[in-house]
A and B are shown apart, each in its own frame.
Chain A
Amino acid sequence: MPLIITDTDIDLELFMNNLSLEDSTKERIRNGRIIILPEKVGENYTIYNDTLNLKKYINMTQKDLNVQICMDTKKITTYHLHSGDLWFSTLYFISTEIGLPLIIGIISSYIYDKLKKLKGEAQTIHIKIVIKDKKKNKTKMFSFDGPSEDIKDTFKKIDLNTIFK
């Protein structure tokens, strides 16, 4: 199965504290509707480069979706794997703020519009989406590792009401 759903204890405030972010950065992140969480590579935190381009694509196509990177602006580094696969850093949001289908729709459009593949090229996506349900105080992680053309249909079957029951 390309999609694995698990419980997670990721908490944005704790995450920001662990990274010892500046107060102004924390404020900027709290105002964001989608937060990009960096990965720990070795001793440092960094974001997959494809995520930075996805952020710009969202800013261009969905201006009301404020996307923020959970890092101090001057300390942002990008992680490059140079594989044919597409690696995205974790996207975090609150379930009442944005619908999951909207996010998946944007990701699929970005891949379809901007990352055309040629005959014989396989394109596997690796992405984690963390959704917090404030009412039920639960957080779920959706890890997708599969062909780019499958992401939309795979997530279409997800009903957040059932998952957060």
Chain B
Amino acid sequence: MIFDLLSLKIEPFYSLNQLNVKILDALRQFNHKEVIEYEIQVQSIITDNKKISITKKDETQANNFFIISLYFKMLLHYSALWDAMRDKKYQETWFYIQDCNDILRLLKNFEHDYNNYNLIEIEYNLFEIEKLFPFTFFNSAEMICGKSTCSICRRDTSNPECIHIPGELYWGKMAQQEMGDIKFNGIAILRNPKDKRCAITTVDGKEKLSEDNTKGLLLLATKISSPYYKIRIIETKQKEPIFKFKDLKKDDPCPCQSGKKFYQCCSRKKRIGIPHMKIFFDDEFKIGHQ
């Protein structure tokens, strides 16, 4: 739908398509400043035209503008993550990945041509980049909400008169629940949270972003020449001779990252398998019509 509309030779789609070409080109060159400039123009065109659609009582078109707006926001976050990664701001990179994922999840719901437009390639790249981060545990809030208001009709969401389903589009807006009267029950530590922004650092500091465990991100940012390359990260074990670890003490964590002490794990082996990641850049992909 998105690119069918953008390929129309009528305004505002013609202008939006021109800006799309410019954004994709700026993104290719990792020029985030330019992406931001074009993005501002895009969102302004979309806001104006969404208002016009609502005035004309054309709900479908208003919703279409919402979906197009999501696509451009996703490009902005995708650009921002590469900018942050190249700047060695890895925590920010992580947040931008999550921003992109949030939008891709919505686009997957709304855009039937998601796979055909190669948005799935961005999704796969984000999945691969996440592997380069040391995070495995996340905080997650557990709460009971006494009030839940619909963002569309302002009624209580449990009121049978409220027909709006969160995540559905109504007149160019997405229905959301606005929670109130919140009582926090606790915080859970999970591997599979709804929101991966609250990554936690383990007591031994292994999951803290340090120079040591962000080497993969540094390598990726240095070697990749375009964000449209399909990234493939393969986790292997590289055998290292035992003499390389002669300075390790018995109680030190084993370098094979089993979580055991060195003495109880690989200290008697001739070679130790060290976790190793190989980054491959496959073919370039093109966003939009193939």
Contact = CB atoms under 8 A, between A and B. Distances in A.
B142 interface: yes
A105 interface: no
B-side binding surface: helix, strand, loop or mixed?
mixed
Interface in A68-112: 69, 73, 76-85
Given A73-B158, A73-B159, A118-B123, A83 B144 contact: no
Contacts of B141: 80, 82
A100 to B, nearest CB: 24
B207 interface: no
A57 to B, nearest CB: 6
Contact of B144 (A46, A52, A117, A122): A46
B167 interface: yes
A118 B101 CA distance: 8
Nearest to B107: A116
Interface stretch (B41-49, B184-192, B259-267): B184-192
B113 interface: no
Contacts of A44: 144
Interface in A28-71: 41-42, 44, 46, 49, 52-53, 56-57, 59-60, 69
B157 A114 contact: no
Interface size class of A (residues with CB under 8 A): 20 to 34
B105 interface: yes
B205 interface: no
The size class of the interface chain B forms with chain A is 35 or more
Contact of B194 (A78, A83, A116, A124): A83
Contacts, number: 87
A122 B167 contact: no
B127 A119 contact: yes
A120 B142 CA distance: 24
A126 B8 CA distance: 45
B193 A83 contact: yes
A116 B108 CA distance: 7
Given A73-B158, A83-B190, A84-B193, A119 B123 contact: yes
B185 A118 contact: no
A113 B110 CA distance: 9
Given A118-B123, A119-B124, A83 B146 contact: no
Which 5 pairs, one residue from A and one from B, show the smallest C-beta to C-beta distance? A84-B192, A116-B108, A119-B127, A76-B158, A82-B140
29 contacts: A41-B144, A49-B145, A49-B177, A56-B162, A57-B165, A59-B163, A60-B163, A76-B156, A77-B144, A77-B145, A78-B145, A78-B148, A78-B179, A80-B142, A80-B179, A81-B140, A82-B142, A82-B193, A82-B194, A83-B188, A83-B190, A83-B194, A84-B190, A84-B192, A118-B101, A118-B108, A119-B123, A120-B127, A122-B192
Interface of B: 101, 104-105, 108-109, 123-124, 126-127, 130, 140-146, 148, 156-160, 162-167, 177, 179, 185, 188, 190, 192-195
